[in-house]
């Protein structure tokens, strides 16, 4: 009997090993998010103090106040919203496809956005029209994938996944073609659009609002997602309306991804790795995972974006590179501490 | 509970009824029209060769698939009249496979069975955890509560699935090959467990099992439905259906019936 107990000890799941109260988790994540946002407002060429940040936010005047309010705050909010949207979309996609390797871009949403945005840049469109095209392209990709995967009335995960991956591959080819054919003057702005650039984010607040609304819409159904993650058939037998839930998940995850890509660009890594990071620490209960992923994703991208504009200033680094540089070591550290791979 | 919910199920109605049921997959008819009725305290076993449509029939009885012809009722009412969560408190399904794409604790997995008993914003409380722990104990996994399901053996995982169904606490158990991956001891233990639950006085429970072992069917079934894989259905009391001639025809292999210790045993030639 003791051998069984010992074996049981050594292979406990992360969630069981460290069950924490949801309130404590929320407090830690909110504090981290606030700290990241404060750093994003303080850091930069123009040194400011935390007191100046507070005065700027409460309507103070002066150079530092306008730098904070007009440059750093919109950029920090854009990065936070984009990270939160991508991490939430990634967590939803992983449940929808019941595949730990799923990310927000796997079904071709970012591909559709990139084709449309690069098309607009090729035509020399203004920023607003590039953004509008990106959003329209993302929604078009969503409709195409959904329509094709749904073609014969039955939509299995495999069919949806394959359709999405193929559409994404097609978009990738179209993007390469446009990059090759574009005049040299436009290639740089195309590359920057694709790697993600929070400095150009024009309207960050609606994206943050969307993130809040999406969380509000998902949370009442979070336990249904727990059931769905364990198989469609069992979920239906347990009273979950699977076809409605999956369609809603797909549309919501696509909308969140489309908004994030339109706002900042196809920032890689956040949508795949943040849900896994949270899962390693807190377990796979979607009622905890989804809001925690939203906060952690926002925090990670805010940190990465602030680092991207400060570490090699005045040179700006692509934010996607920084998310990977921060996220990879953190992820590997947590993975090495998880009980199954540690032994 | 609203007024509509309280009239479910209809008093004194059989747990499960199928009326003039027929199933078609593509162009192929899996079974011709037949009817069945399962009362509380009874066990029905579905037998038949591979691909005969046992799982399809079970899913139809579980309301997860519309019948091609006829109607299925639980507690006296067709599935369309049941809200999904109400139905999930009345009947539960053990599926053939339990995919685990993500790491999760055993207790956490078993607690998923409480889903239909909790409100939209409800979290599992101490009482739900107690129910789940009793279910784990019933399948001999009391020490496994903290384990990760991805590290379990096939038989242990199957017993976690059985415990999840016990945690769901339905009145009608629909079990698709419940003995998958189980060793002999746990096969008998699982069948005894469900027999005890079904025979419990006043509990009003019943079970439908898809089995491959004819001798276990002979030991535990009250009624048997034999699908022959060519659209034929033989439904009736155990002793009427379980005869060497019908079984040999359905399975396409000659069988002998032997009396041993007062029980019928079927041996393949």
List residues of A whose CB lies inside 8 A of any B CB.
1, 4-5, 8-9, 11-17, 94, 98-100, 220, 223-224, 226-227, 229-231, 233-234, 236-241, 279, 283-285, 287, 340
Instruction: Give the per-residue pLDDT at A238.
Output: 96
Cis peptide before A304 (omega within 30 of 0): no
Q: What is the pLDDT of residue A53?
A: 83
Q: A124 or A112: which carries more pLDDT confidence? A: A112
CATH number of A247's domain: 1.10.3470.10
What does pTM read for this prediction?
Answer: 0.89
> What pLDDT is stored for residue A339 in this prediction?
56
Domain span at residue A213 reads: 2-342
Task: Give pLDDT, residue A342.
Answer: 31
Burial class (CB in 10 A: 0-12, 13-18, 19+), A150: middle
pLDDT on residue A47 = 80
- Write the CA distances from A90 to A85, A87, A200, A261, B45, integer angstroms: 8, 5, 24, 13, 43
Interface test with A, best of B66, B103, B117 (most A CBs within 10 A): B103
Q: Are B175 and B8 in contact (CB under 8 A)?
A: no
| A192 vs B113 pLDDT, higher one | B113
Residues of chain B with confidence (pLDDT) below 70: 1-7
Residue A42 three-state SS:
helix
CA nearest to A102 within chain B? B101
- Domains in chain B: ranges and CATH: 3-268 (3.40.50.300)
Task: Give the sheet arrangement for strand B172-176, strand by strand.
Answer: B91-94, B172-176, B206-210, B43-47, B223-227, B233-237
Q: Count residue pairs from A and B with Cβ separation < 8 A.
A: 110
- Which pLDDT score, from 0 to 100, does residue B79 have? 96
Question: Which residue out of A230, A289, A339, A341 would a mutagenesis test of the B interface target, given it has the greatest number of B Cβ atoms within 10 Å?
Answer: A230
Which residues of chain B lie closer than 8 angstroms to A279, CB-CB?
A: 102-103
Region of poorest pLDDT, from A31-45, A101-115, A144-158, B162-176: A144-158
The pLDDT confidence band at residue A288, using thresholds 50, 70 and 90, is very high
Least confident of A57-71, A145-159, A316-330: A145-159
- What does the mean pLDDT of chain A come to? 85
> For residue A20, what pLDDT is reported?
65
Which chain A residues are within 8 Å of B148, Cβ to Cβ? 11-13, 16, 340
Min Cα distance A296 → chain B (Å) is 20
Report the half-sphere exposure of A153 (CA within 13 A, side-chain side).
0
Is residue A57 within 8 Å of A70, Cβ to Cβ? no
Residues of chain A in contact with residue B118, where contact means CB-CB under 8 angstroms, are 223
Contacts of A105 (CB under 8 A, 6+ apart): A111, A168, A257, A266, A268, A271
Give per-residue pLDDT as tens, A246-283.
989 999 999 999 999 989 888 888 999 999 989 988 88
Quick check: A234 and B84 CB within 8 A?
no
pLDDT at A67: 84
Q: Which helix (H) or strand (E) holds A261?
A: helix A242-263
What is the structure's pLDDT at A320?
81
Query: Does B115 contact A224 at a Cβ distance shorter than 8 Å?
Result: yes
Judged against a pLDDT cut of 70, whether residue A343 lies above it is answered with no
Percent of chain A with pLDDT over 90: 43
CA distance B248 to chain A (A): 33
pLDDT score of A184: 85
Domain count along chain A: 1
Q: How far is CA A146 from CA A142, A143, A161, A162, B258, in A?
A: 6, 5, 10, 11, 58
Please report the pLDDT score of residue A337 as a whole number. 73
Please tell me the predicted confidence (pLDDT) of residue A152. Answer: 56
pLDDT band at A155 (very low <50, low <70, confident <90, very high): low
Cβ contact (<8 Å) for A11 and B148? yes
Mean pLDDT of the A180-203 span: 82
Cα separations (Å) of B191 from B115, B171, B198, B216? 25, 16, 11, 9
Write down the pLDDT at residue A4: 39
Q: Do A241 and B107 touch (CB under 8 A)?
A: no
Pairs from B6-14 (Cβ < 8 Å, separation ≥ 24): B8/B75, B8/B77, B8/B81, B8/B82, B8/B86, B8/B90, B9/B74, B9/B75, B9/B76, B9/B77, B9/B90, B10/B75, B10/B76, B10/B77, B13/B73, B13/B75, B13/B76, B13/B77, B14/B38, B14/B39, B14/B76
* pLDDT on residue A9: 41
| Backbone dihedral angles phi then psi of residue A162, each to the nearest 5 degrees | -65, -45
Given this model, what pLDDT does residue B56 score?
Answer: 95
- Is the pLDDT at A23 greater than 90, yes or no? no
* Top mean-pLDDT range of A43-47, A130-134, A319-323: A130-134
- ipTM for the predicted complex comes to 0.92
Please give, rounded to a whole number of angstroms, the shortest distance from the CA of B84 to a CA of chain A. Answer: 4
Q: Higher model confidence: residue A27 or residue A200?
A: A27
Determine the Cα–Cα distance for residues A29 and A47; give it in Å rounded to an integer: 27
Are A240 and B120 an interchain contact pair (Cβ–Cβ within 8 Å)?
no
Residue B65: per-residue pLDDT: 93
Query: Is the minimum CB–CB distance between B102 and chain A shorter than 8 Å?
Result: yes
B81 or A318, which is more confident?
A: B81
> Residue A17 has what pLDDT?
45
């Amino acid at each position: 009997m003791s051998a069984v107990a010992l074996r049981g000890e050594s292979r406990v799941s992360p969630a069981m090993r460290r069950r924490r109260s949801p309130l404590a988790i929320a407090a830690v994540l909110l504090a981290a998010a606030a700290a990241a946002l404060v750093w994003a407002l303080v850091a930069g060429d123009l040194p400011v103090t935390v007191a100046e940040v507070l005065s700027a936010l409460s309507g103070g005047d002066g150079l530092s106040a306008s730098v904070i309010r007009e440059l750093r705050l919109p950029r920090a909010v854009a990065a936070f919203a984009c990270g939160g949207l991508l991490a939430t979309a990634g967590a939803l996609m992983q449940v929808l496809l019941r595949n730990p390797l799923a990310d927000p871009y796997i079904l071709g949403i970012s591909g559709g956005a990139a084709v449309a945005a690069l098309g607009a840049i090729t035509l020399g469109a203004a920023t607003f029209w590039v953004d509008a095209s990106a959003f329209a392209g993302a929604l078009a990709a969503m409709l195409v994938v959904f329509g094709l995967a749904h073609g014969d009335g039955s939509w299995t995960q495999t069919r949806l996944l394959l359709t999405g991956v193929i559409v994404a591959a097609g978009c990738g080819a179209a993007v390469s073609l446009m990059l090759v054919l574009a005049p040299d003057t436009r290639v740089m702005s195309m590359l920057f659009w694709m790697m993600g650039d929070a400095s150009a984010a024009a309207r960050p607040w609606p994206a943050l609002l969307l993130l809040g609304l999406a969380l509000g819409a998902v949370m009442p159904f979070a336990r249904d997602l727990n059931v769905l993650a364990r198989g469609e058939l069992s979920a239906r037998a347990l009273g979950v309306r699977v076809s409605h839930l999956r369609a809603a998940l797909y549309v919501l995850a696509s909308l969140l991804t489309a908004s994030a890509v339109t706002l900042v660009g196809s920032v890689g890594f956040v949508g795949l790795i943040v849900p896994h990071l949270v899962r390693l620490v807190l377990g796979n209960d979607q009622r905890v995972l989804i809001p925690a992923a939203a906060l952690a994703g926002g925090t990670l991208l805010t940190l990465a974006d602030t680092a991207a504009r400060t570490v090699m200033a005045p040179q700006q680094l692509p934010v996607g590179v920084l998310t990977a540089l921060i996220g990879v070591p953190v992820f590997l550290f947590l993975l090495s501490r998880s009980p199954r791979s540690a032994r | 509970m609203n007024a509509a919910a309280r009239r479910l199920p209809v008093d004194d109605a059989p747990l499960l009824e199928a009326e003039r049921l027929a199933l078609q997959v593509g162009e192929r008819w899996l079974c011709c029209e037949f009817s069945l009725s399962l009362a509380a305290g009874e066990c029905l076993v579905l037998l038949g060769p591979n691909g005969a449509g046992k799982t399809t029939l079970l899913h139809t009885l579980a309301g997860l698939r519309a019948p091609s012809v006829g109607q299925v009722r639980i507690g006296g009412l067709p599935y369309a009249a049941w809200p999904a969560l109400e139905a999930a408190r009345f009947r539960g399904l053990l599926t053939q496979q339990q995919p685990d794409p993500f790491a999760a604790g055993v207790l956490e997995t078993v607690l998923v069975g409480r889903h239909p008993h909790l409100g939209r914003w409800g979290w599992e409380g101490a009482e739900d955890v107690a129910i789940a722990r009793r279910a784990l104990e019933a399948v001999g996994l009391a020490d496994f509560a903290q384990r990760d399901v991805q590290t379990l053996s096939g038989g242990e995982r199957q017993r976690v699935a059985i415990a999840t169904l016990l945690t769901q606490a339905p009145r009608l158990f629909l079990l698709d090959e419940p003995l998958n991956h189980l060793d002999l001891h746990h096969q008998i233990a699982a069948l005894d467990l469900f027999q005890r639950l079904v025979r419990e006085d006043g509990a009003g429970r019943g079970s439908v099992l898809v089995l491959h072992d004819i001798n276990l069917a002979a030991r535990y079934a009250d009624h048997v439905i034999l699908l022959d894989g060519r659209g034929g259905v033989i439904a009736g009391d155990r002793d009427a259906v379980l005869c060497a001639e019908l079984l040999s025809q359905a399975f396409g292999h000659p069988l002998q019936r032997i009396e041993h210790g007062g029980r019928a045993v079927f041996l393949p030639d």
